[in-house]
Amino acid sequence: MQSMGEQLRTVVIGAGQAGLSAAHHLRRKGLVPFQDFVVLDANEGPGGAWRHRWDSLTFDRAHGLHSLPGMELDTPAPSEPASAVVTRYYGDYESAFALPVIRPFKAKTVTGSLTEGFTIISTDGRQVHAATLINATGTWDKPYWPYYPGAREFAGRQLHTHDFVAPEQFLGKRVLVVGGGTSAAQFLLQFASLGIDTLWSTRQAPQWREAPQNKSWGIEVEMNVNSRTRAGLTPRSVVSVTGLPLTDFYREGIDSGVLVSRGGIDSISAHAVTFTDGTTEDVDVILWATGFRASLDHLAPLGLREPGGGIVMGEDSVTVDKVPGLFLVGYGASASTVGATRAGRAAAVAAQRLLDAPVAAVGAD
């Protein structure tokens, strides 16, 4: 491997769907692994954020599992944990295309510019230098905990999706699940199947969707999300635009009363929650299925943020206007696996165009 002190042409931070897609297209455009580019991954092994998902999230219940470019995702047993499926698939993908993944390498700080080059410093002090940077760190490291009056006084257990292990840990408890996404709905149905008493809180009524997920519909969703990031606004979650898929699995939950929201939360006390309709319920556990935010703390020295917290993105949805040479994938609409795959390619194309390197293309786009 090339000395870590020498400047690479491109560095990819993150080895999830977006990062691996970017690395694949960098190779196809002729960049040489370990000589021209590397992929830095904070994890001990392949799988990205999926390797941390709970075992009860099986392949047949996982939404948004899509193939990486150049290698189809096989259909495993429906009951196999999605974490195992994706970890195996990503590992096979890295090997098949000889992608230059360095792990574990957790980025702590990024400094520099296109003029002087970027320096990526790890939490243990290692440094990597590159002319351009593709950031694909996703959201898993930034769970979002909303504020409600009295939350700190709650005497029961509070945890986020990020820290969920298995539904069995809540047997005999009354659990409030907070959040309007698919993970919240799945938690509720898992708990109900074990006889666990549940309540559901969403700020707005759940938006169930029966529309087909065709190509034009998907493009419209991405345009909706990307319009905010191009304006420098904080991105909306994809599910806030798409709604919840009204499958037979979820219909049964609605009919049984499990997937019926009590509405928003007004306040929290030591052993109870008061909802915005004025009613109060005793609860033992609050599970915050309230989503994640972009994991970009290591990029803070680059000054990306607008006053409102957003980042102004270019027309290609991967270029950062304020910092030429930096590309964000897995941000905004590309936080979904379909969007991440396309964004990885767009970032690789944009990085090579900026470098204007006379490298021979390896295969067609």
Block residue for tokens 């504020």? 147
Q: Is 339 a residue whose pLDDT tops 80?
A: no
Residue 63 is predicted with a pLDDT of 64
Residue 361 is predicted with a pLDDT of 41
Q: Do the domains at 7-141+292-355 and 151-207+243-288 have one common CATH topology?
A: yes
Lowest mean pLDDT among 65-79, 179-193, 269-283, 317-331: 65-79
pLDDT tens-digit profile of 287-330?
999 999 989 999 999 999 988 888 988 888 899 999 999 999 98
- pTM of the prediction? 0.86
Average pLDDT, the chain: 88
Question: Quick one: CATH architecture of 151-207+243-288?
Answer: 3-Layer(bba) Sandwich (3.50)
Residue 227 is predicted with a pLDDT of 66
Q: Is 131 a residue whose pLDDT tops 90?
A: yes
Instruction: List the domain boundaries for the chain.
Output: 7-141+292-355, 151-207+243-288
Question: Quick one: CATH architecture of 7-141+292-355?
Answer: 3-Layer(bba) Sandwich (3.50)
Q: What is the mean pLDDT of residues 182-191?
A: 93
Encoded amino acid at 188, one letter: L
Q: Is 200 a residue whose pLDDT tops 90?
A: yes
Residue 151 is predicted with a pLDDT of 96
Q: What is the mean pLDDT of residues 270-288?
A: 98
Lowest mean pLDDT among 112-121, 170-179, 214-223, 224-233: 214-223
pLDDT tens-digit profile of 217-255?
555 666 666 666 666 667 666 666 667 888 888 899 999
Lowest mean pLDDT among 43-47, 79-83, 137-141: 79-83
Q: With cut-offs at 50, 70 and 90, classify the pLDDT of residue 46.
A: very high
Q: For the chain, what percent of residues have pLDDT higher than 70?
A: 85
